[in-house]
Structure 1
Amino acid sequence: MSSPNLERAQLLLEQNRGSDAEEYARLAIQDDPNAALAYLYLSSALMQQNKDRDALAPAQEALSLDPDNPYTHAHIARVHYHLENWKKAEAAANQALRMYPEDSDMFGLLAYLAARKADWEKSLELAETGLSFDSDHVLCTNARANALTKLKRSDDAQDSLDYALKRDPENPYTHYQKGHVLLEGGKYDEAAKHFCEALRLAPNFEDAKEGLVEALKAKHFVYSLFLKYIFFMSRLKPGVQMGIIFGGYFAQRILSESLASAGQYGVASAVRIVYGVFAFFTWTASSLFNLLLFVHPMGRYALSERQRKVAAGVGACVAMILASLALHFSTNIEGLLYGALAFATCSLPVAAAEYATNPGKLKLLGLVIVAQCLCALGAFALYLSGDPATADGPATIAIITGVAFTWLSAFFRN
């Protein structure tokens, strides 16, 4: 028989009152320490408060008490998905489907996991399977639209979302997905309207905030080109993406060295500079254009605290690059060119801090940034003091750290 505390926790969860639901779920556990449902409600209440890491332990306790309940496995899958434990989320979702093959929630979750691997055909198949059991399922509808967009079937994606919005015009997730499709299609003003509507309906919807920020930045022509490049790369499988990145690096090396061997030193240098500027921009464009939103009447509210800090950090790096170059040309101190390169590499881990989600890895990244920037600043001061031989050491450390980071950046993102 269900306890009053358990029933109260369920009601509060349905009202999205996670903090209150947590209190009653804990009371229900005191009533019956072997009540698997009480642990599930506690985990759900913690997730409603964005305490995903805390939600894992009670979810696992529920699983140990009731291992034959497909809902328990489904909940574990959702917790792992929010924690970005992709393989564990996939395993739990598949286990839930083996026990209950008509769970549209799990098909939608697996569709998004397939999307992470850029397996768009598989993502579409999973989403449509989920919709075959529940034609109005929001998660599957949005996953289907996402896959269709990446498969260059944007019209089908928009038709699907328009139908969903007619059925449920107050759904923030569908508005968000509609905005994303429009953003990828280059309709930035319309995209911004749907992101704003999603935020009106769900003010703490972080993905919608990020979408709005991208839509506002995309109105700048240069950033719109960068965004098109990002969308192009996102359609490709991870292996192909890496092939393009490394292929571009080695292609410019071969081309510039061939030109230098032929005596075309100016052209060879131009190739290296163009590639360097492009590589720098792909890393820092988002943060640099976030700086412009500091003075935008809508943008400054859409930016998160971390986006503001990262943008300010990248802006400081760029300011030091320009200061180093200006002083080089005014004083003829050759080493300041090397110092400018050191500050340029400092901006790479700073910009990446916007996307690091693991708290432990974020702290480690912070230590890397502090150490690297101290090296660059120390080198800058030593160059100005007339001690280039000593300054080259810390400048080299900063540059090597930045280059090494580009190879290890995936570790910090996951």
Structure 2
Amino acid sequence: MENQNEERALQLFELGRYEAAIPYFERALAEEPDNFNAKYYIALSFIHLNDMDKAETICNNLLGTHPDSANVFYLKAIISFNKDKIKQAFSEIEHAIRLAPYIASYFGLKASILLAQKKYEDALLATDQGLQIDAKDSLCLNNRAKILTKLNRKEEANSTIQDILQDNPEDEYSHANVGWVALEQGKIQKALLHFKEALTFNPNFEYARQGMATALKSKNPIYALYLKYSFWMAKQSTKYQWIFIIGLYLAYRFLVSVLSANGLSYLAIPLIVLYLIFALGGWIMEALSDTILLFDKHGKYLLDRSQKQSGYVFGLALVSAILFGILYYVLKEPILGVFAITFLCLLLPLPRAFHQEVPNNRIFVFTYAAIMATVGLIGSFFISPLMAGSGVLILLVAYTWLGNFIEDKN
């Protein structure tokens, strides 16, 4: 006799109602304590709900009774991958494949892990192995499109995309993934279309919502350039990323020295500002993108309250920095220059304070921004503008270290 609780749980699971499915699986388990299927789907439900700790506990219990289960090692690999334990995840999926080398989705997950390690050729081989088993496996096809895009094999990527959409025309993940691939290829309108389709099928799909927001922000040429740079940097190995950053810094220092030596120091100032914007782009781009979306008739609806506040504050600080900068060049008044630098430096901590999820962290960042503003905007009247401006810059540099520490705790 079939377990009615398990049958109902599976129906809810297939509908994506994971939270509602878990109690039915637990009732089925109460009736049959050794029900492997119920335990497996409870763990999988917790994975879908992004509760990796509970999923991991169940998987570890399952391994005690089923030490040679490929499915359990597959789940453990998913959990480790979501916890950024990349080497452990790779070891677990390799073990799952050794136990069951005939399941395409295992190779799809292996490709995802290799993709995260930027081992694109190995990842492509894994997808092809999976597709030999099941030519319509969604994870393998989606990963193949991503990998081919990373390898700049755009024609093959586009061909794979056609296969994805033909096989999964109503799958929100496939549409969202195609949207991200199109975004990386610079096809903004195509990306928007697929993100819209994904959100039509699942309005709460965060992966698609983030993609839609990114695509709308990409209409701004400044953000589009930054996004192109981000995609390019993401494709490079850590070694080459550092070589590029150090090389860029050395080139910047050389240009500043040449300009200063030839009496062109005034040209060094905008160069320094441009370099700082580039070097700190990752810090300010989230708040800048919030500001961009505020003025988009569709994009503003993708922002929550904190993101809107961040956007308004960033826009106000940026306009203030530009206005005081212009006044400084016109009137040659040092205090106005300090004001311009202060508002420019405030672009880092002040808008980001609204993105802090931990209340104490938010208070800390607001307090830090207030100290920076006090030193620059009020301190200039009591100490020399040079000292006030230097103090603000020192606080900015310190924040780039403190900020990483604070956000790592979020």
The yes-or-no answer on 1:398 pairing with 2:389 is no
RMSD value, Cα: 3.5
The yes-or-no answer on 1:151 pairing with 2:151 is yes
Which segment is superposed worse, 323-332 or 97-106?
323-332
Q: Structure 1 residues 355, 379: CA separation in 2 closer, same or farther (over 3 Å shift)?
A: closer
1:44-81, Cα deviation, whole Å (9 max, x unpaired):
22333343444332233333332221101111222233
Letter in 1 for 2:408: F
Letter in 2 for 1:382: I
| CA distance in structure 1 between the aligned counterparts of 2:251 and 2:351, rounded to whole angstroms | 26
State TM-score, norm by structure 2: 0.85
The yes-or-no answer on 1:376 pairing with 2:367 is no
| CA distance in structure 1 between the aligned counterparts of 2:139 and 2:352, rounded to whole angstroms | 29
Structure 1: stretches of 5+ with no match in the other structure: none
The answer as to whether partners of 2:345 and 2:393 remain within 8 angstroms in 1 is: no
The answer as to whether partners of 1:342 and 1:398 remain within 8 angstroms in 2 is: no
| CA distance in structure 2 between the aligned counterparts of 1:318 and 1:381, rounded to whole angstroms | 15
Which residue in 1 is equivalent to 2:61? 61
Q: How many residues are matched?
A: 409
Measure how far apart 1:355 and its partner are: 9.4
| CA distance in structure 2 between the aligned counterparts of 1:153 and 1:165, rounded to whole angstroms | 19
Letter in 2 for 1:377: A
Letter in 2 for 1:268: A
| CA distance in structure 1 between the aligned counterparts of 2:336 and 2:402, rounded to whole angstroms | 22
The answer as to whether partners of 2:179 and 2:192 remain within 8 angstroms in 1 is: yes
Measure how far apart 1:269 and its partner are: 3.4
1:141-171, Cα deviation, whole Å (9 max, x unpaired):
0110111111111111111111221222112
| CA distance in structure 2 between the aligned counterparts of 1:217 and 1:176, rounded to whole angstroms | 16
Which segment is superposed worse, 371-380 or 154-163?
371-380
1:297-330, Cα deviation, whole Å (9 max, x unpaired):
3212333566445434544543564576578679
Which residue in 2 is equivalent to 1:21? 21
| CA distance in structure 1 between the aligned counterparts of 2:315 and 2:53, rounded to whole angstroms | 33
Measure how far apart 1:4 and its partner are: 4.3
The answer as to whether partners of 1:78 and 1:89 remain within 8 angstroms in 2 is: yes
Measure how far apart 1:200 and its partner are: 0.8
Which segment is superposed worse, 390-399 or 16-25?
390-399
Letter in 2 for 1:128: D
Q: Name the SS of the counterpart of 1:152 in structure 2.
A: coil
| CA distance in structure 2 between the aligned counterparts of 1:157 and 1:17, rounded to whole angstroms | 33
Measure how far apart 1:112 and its partner are: 2.0
The answer as to whether partners of 2:110 and 2:123 remain within 8 angstroms in 1 is: yes
Give percent identity, aligned residues only: 27
| CA distance in structure 2 between the aligned counterparts of 1:190 and 1:180, rounded to whole angstroms | 10
Letter in 1 for 2:375: A
1:339-388, Cα deviation, whole Å (9 max, x unpaired):
644554443466778999xx7xx678646523421321332453265345
Measure how far apart 1:194 and its partner are: 0.9
Which segment is superposed worse, 119-128 or 327-336?
327-336
Q: Structure 1 residues 107, 341: CA separation in 2 closer, same or farther (over 3 Å shift)?
A: farther
Q: Structure 1 residues 371, 105: CA separation in 2 closer, same or farther (over 3 Å shift)?
A: farther
Which residue in 2 is equivalent to 1:136? 136
| CA distance in structure 2 between the aligned counterparts of 1:298 and 1:392, rounded to whole angstroms | 39
Structure 2: stretches of 5+ with no match in the other structure: none
Measure how far apart 1:30 and its partner are: 3.8
Which residue in 2 is equivalent to 1:211? 211
Measure how far apart 1:240 and its partner are: 1.1
Letter in 1 for 2:203: P
Which segment is superposed worse, 89-98 or 143-152?
89-98
| CA distance in structure 1 between the aligned counterparts of 2:33 and 2:324, rounded to whole angstroms | 65
| CA distance in structure 1 between the aligned counterparts of 2:266 and 2:251, rounded to whole angstroms | 18
| CA distance in structure 1 between the aligned counterparts of 2:155 and 2:409, rounded to whole angstroms | 32
The answer as to whether partners of 1:349 and 1:405 remain within 8 angstroms in 2 is: no
State TM-score, norm by structure 1: 0.84
Q: Structure 1 residues 369, 125: CA separation in 2 closer, same or farther (over 3 Å shift)?
A: farther
| CA distance in structure 2 between the aligned counterparts of 1:83 and 1:316, rounded to whole angstroms | 38
Which residue in 1 is equivalent to 2:311? 311
| CA distance in structure 2 between the aligned counterparts of 1:355 and 1:140, rounded to whole angstroms | 34
| CA distance in structure 2 between the aligned counterparts of 1:103 and 1:344, rounded to whole angstroms | 54
- Correspondence list, 1:8-407, <5 A: 8-31=8-31, 35-281=35-281, 283-303=283-303, 307-308=307-308, 310-312=310-312, 314-315=314-315, 317-318=317-318, 321-322=321-322, 325=325, 334=334, 337-338=337-338, 340-348=340-348, 366=362, 369-383=365-379, 385-387=381-383, 395=392, 398-404=395-401
Q: Structure 1 residues 242, 412: CA separation in 2 closer, same or farther (over 3 Å shift)?
A: farther
Higher RCO (C-alpha under 8 Å, 6+ residues apart): 1
Letter in 2 for 1:193: L
